[in-house]
Amino acid sequence: MREIVQTGDPVLRQVARTMSVEEIRSPETQQLIAEMRETMRAAPGVGLAAPQIGESLQLAVIEDRADYLDGVAPEHLAARQRAPVDFHVIINPKLTLLGEATAEFFEGCLSVEGFGAVVPRSLSVRVECLNERADPITITAHGWYARILQHEIDHLNGTLYIDRMYTRSFTTVENAERFASS
């Protein structure tokens, strides 16, 4: 497992460098991907970008496990268009927002530990990238999955959700849960 760096660390504000096919296929990168997967799951989180563990690389892992959705009210899942997403890797991604539709939901980050805020995001995106084998792939995503992709790709470009949030919604996670029904 790797340590997750927190806001204020300069690596989180840099545009990460792209990776070559040879570098992606290297044993070192494959080990890094395994460590990122373990770190993301232990946090727990639904995504982790390499800069969040101090590596300025255009690399992120994503997984929204079914057990994360256990006990979540069906209307909450429906409102967010949230469903399980299998583990996968995105490398050197190019993000395209599809359409004008957006959604505003509370969002947190493993690198801004203990806080969250309402963040507007596009409801639909397309991501062209390489996978962990350096194969080109295209992902079309909607709802919560689209939000996760946008959040992680922001990390690769030196942007945190706090740059996009509605500032008056910024709160501790504890208070967000405490006053959610207020």
Residue 152 is among the residues annotated as catalytic for this protein: yes
Q: What is the pLDDT of residues 116-163, one digit of tens each?
A: 999 999 999 999 999 999 999 999 999 999 999 999 999 999 999 999
Q: What is the pLDDT of residues 24-81, one digit of tens each?
A: 999 999 999 999 999 999 999 999 999 999 999 999 999 999 999 999 999 999 999 9
| Active-site position among 55, 100, 152, 177 | 152
Question: Is the backbone of residue 12 left (phi > 0), alpha (psi -120 to 50) or beta?
Answer: alpha
On whether the 10-179 domain is CATH 3.40.980.10, my answer is no
Torsions phi, psi for 50 (to 5 deg): -50, -40
